Amino acid sequence: METMKIHDITPNDLPWKIRYDASRCTLCGSCVAACSFRAIAPKVERRRMVFSEGDFPEPKTRFSAIPVIRQVHSIKNYCRGCGICEKVCPNDAIGPLRNVDNRHSIVTRCLAGDSVKRGGRKNLESTSRTLDRLRVGRISQMTDPSLDAQRHTFDLLAPFGRILPPGKLPFAVGADGKLQTTGQSPPVRWIYPVIIGDMSIGALSWRMWEGVAMATAYLNEECGLPVRMCSGEGGVPVRLLKSKYLKYMILQIASGHFGWNRILKAMPHMTEDPAGVLIKIGQGAKPGDGGLLMAQKVAEHIQAIRGVPKADLLSPPNHQGLYSIEESVQKMFLSMNAAFKFRVPVAIKVAASATSVSVFNNLVRDPYNIVGGFFLDGIDGGTGAAHEVSLDHTGHPIVSKLRDCYLAAVTQGRQGQIPLWAAGGLGKTGDLAADAFKMMCLGANGVFTGKLILQMAGCVGNDMGRCNACNTGLCPAGITTQEPALAHRLDPEKVAQNIVNYYLAMDQELKKLMAPIGNSSLPVGRSDALVSTDRAVAERLQIQYVC
């Protein structure tokens, strides 16, 4: 008998166990080849076999070496439960099973002396969402004929840019009795109210990025939906900066300033203005920490675009070297507005935190009308990689924080002057239209979404801890990896097709929600259209309570 070593890792310490049926396995090797985490491996086992050869039972035993598939007992190559093995197995011989007894979060820290890092989704409280406790409760009655979602026209557009209050519009009445513009006002773009959220070119595989960009272009040019895509902080390929498709891109600058040098250098060669500039002040899922691009994902082309060596890249939540919000506003004013000669709206993105309303109040009172949008990212938001403790435990739910910001504007009579955009767990259930609609009723001008876009592309991760390996560079779906072999699993055209189709369905669904409440433009601030069966939610959001 072997000596028992109590500290050895076994599959029972890991979050997933591999279910394997040797009798069904044909040893084709597909599962092992497909597992990007190397969590399974072929192994030879010594098996005892009892057999009888004559007419009468005459049992004999034989020992033979049999090849089988086994789970790797490694804290590095542990199974993420992505289920790719199951997907490729022709015989249903293998698949991951959730291990309720796992000690993963403890043994990892004990063995590595480092915090657990994870990509993807928030794992705590994943079943209960405030948005699901809200209903669109204002259904039209006889005196309030509904619109026809199929027949009537709807204006599903949201502003991106600083809106001047009516009294400050540079208008004069001309001799012909018409209003004439006599001065400058900030640039405003009217775009589709669901932006493809900021996921950097380093976070996503180049094929995924290409697919998203293709979908954006298609939605704009073929479907007539002015959908915008945010570049994320990773910088933008120079070829795209010089192309006509730049007009669909919101360029993001953040504390890491990744790729910004290249963007500035490309400015003289740009044939189109970008759709906007988004300056990231804080981050959604990890307001105290920062996005993380692990060295494994910093491929050569990422190094080139960002101008960095192959190393872990942290994008801290705060502007380095900035002292206050006023200073960051000043920075925006000096850098981006001036750089694009006030033709391009500049917005900021902050984390939904206890202080985000203060930031918003500060900006909305700014006399220079600089900030062209307030992007608010809640606890469920965020890109693909961070320390697990940040992902799970920091941040603020988006719904009440967005509502706070809107009501702060209402109190000052300044609603709409800085468009509010919100994200963080929207579309988690798959129904982005419903979530977006409810957020708008609560005061958002529009929403942005990242993870749902990944889901559209074929991401297998979920909120129950399945996969969530975006940080490893080993994404089994080829979405968040820079490994050529893995990235090639993804078909960019299929990605684009899925995103386009989802947007078309969502567009239809938004109208289906707008029609019964009698709206032909977006229901921004129509909190009267919402009800909640949860008294606490109703009181907190100042909407009607029903039971």
Partner 1 sequence: MCRIGAIKSLNYVHPSQALLLMQSQQKGHDNSGFAMVMHDLGGIFEGYKHLPTLSLACTDEGLKVAEDMLHAAGFQRVLQWVPEVNDKPGLDINAMPNYVFETFDYPKHIKKSSQKEKEELLLDMRLNLRAALEDDEMGFVYSFWPDVVTLKEIGDPRDIGTYFNLWEADSKFTARVITAQCRQNTNYDIVRYAAHPFFLQGFTALANGENTFYQKNKEFQRKLHRGYIGFESDSQCFLYTLHYVHRQLGWPLSYYKHVITPLPFEEIGHRDDAQELQAIRQSLSHLEINGPNTIIGVLPDNTLFTCCDAKKLRPIVVGRSSDTVVFSSEVCGINEILPDRDWETDIYPNEREIVVIDNNLEVQRWKQ
- Dist. CA 85–CA 93, nearest whole Å: 9
CB 529 → partner 1: shortest distance, Å? 8
With CB under 8 A as the contact rule, which of the stretches 14-22, 99-107, 181-189, 476-484 interacts with partner 1?
Answer: 181-189
26 binds partner 1, rule: CB under 8 A? no
- Dist. CA 484–CA 86, nearest whole Å: 22
| Residue closer to partner 1, measured from CB, 271 or 542 | 542
Residue from 22, 75, 116, 164 that binds partner 1 (CB under 8 A)?
164
| Residue closer to partner 1, measured from CB, 130 or 527 | 527
Residue from 52, 91, 180, 533 that binds partner 1 (CB under 8 A)?
180
Are the C-beta atoms of residues 295 and 310 closer than 8 Å to each other? yes
Residue 102 CB neighbour total at 10 angstroms: 18
How far CA 73 is from CA of 17, 27, 87, 221, in Å, comes to 10, 20, 22, 51
Residue with tokens 């040019």: 221
Residue from 21, 45, 125, 144 that binds partner 1 (CB under 8 A)?
144
Size of the site for partner 1 (CB under 8 A): 43
Are the C-beta atoms of residues 205 and 482 closer than 8 Å to each other? yes
308 binds partner 1, rule: CB under 8 A? no
542 binds partner 1, rule: CB under 8 A? no
Residue with tokens 């057999």: 51
Are the C-beta atoms of residues 350 and 281 closer than 8 Å to each other? yes
412 binds partner 1, rule: CB under 8 A? yes
109 to 138: interface string for partner 1, x by CB under 8 A: -----------------------------x
Return the structure tokens found at 411. Answer: 């109190």
408 binds partner 1, rule: CB under 8 A? no
414 to 443: interface string for partner 1, x by CB under 8 A: -xx---------------------------
CB 441 → partner 1: shortest distance, Å? 9
Cα-Cα-Cα-Cα dihedral sign, residues 381, 387, 389, 390: negative
**Residues 471 to 530 in contact with partner 1, rule: CB under 8 A:** 517-521, 524-528
Q: Which residue in 218, 215, 273, 219 sits closest to 242, CA to CA? A: 273
CB 313 → partner 1: shortest distance, Å? 38
Classified as helix, coil or strand, 453 is helix
- Dist. CA 274–CA 339, nearest whole Å: 12
| Residue closer to partner 1, measured from CB, 138 or 228 | 138
> Going by DSSP bridges, is the β-strand pair 374-377/346-351 parallel, antiparallel, or unpaired?
parallel
Q: Report how far Cα 140 is from the mean position of its chain's Cα atoms.
A: 34
Residue from 56, 367, 413, 547 that binds partner 1 (CB under 8 A)?
413
Return the structure tokens found at 346. Answer: 């500049």
Residue from 91, 109, 190, 326 that binds partner 1 (CB under 8 A)?
190
Q: Which amino acid is at 159?
A: P
- Dist. CA 37–CA 474, nearest whole Å: 6
Q: Which amino acid is at 88?
A: V
Residue from 112, 139, 169, 536 that binds partner 1 (CB under 8 A)?
169
**Residues 27 to 86 in contact with partner 1, rule: CB under 8 A:** none
Residue from 83, 107, 129, 171 that binds partner 1 (CB under 8 A)?
171
Residues in contact with partner 1 by CB under 8 A are: 138, 140, 142-145, 147, 152-153, 155, 157, 159, 163-167, 169, 171, 173, 177-181, 185, 188, 190, 410, 412-413, 415-416, 517-521, 524-528
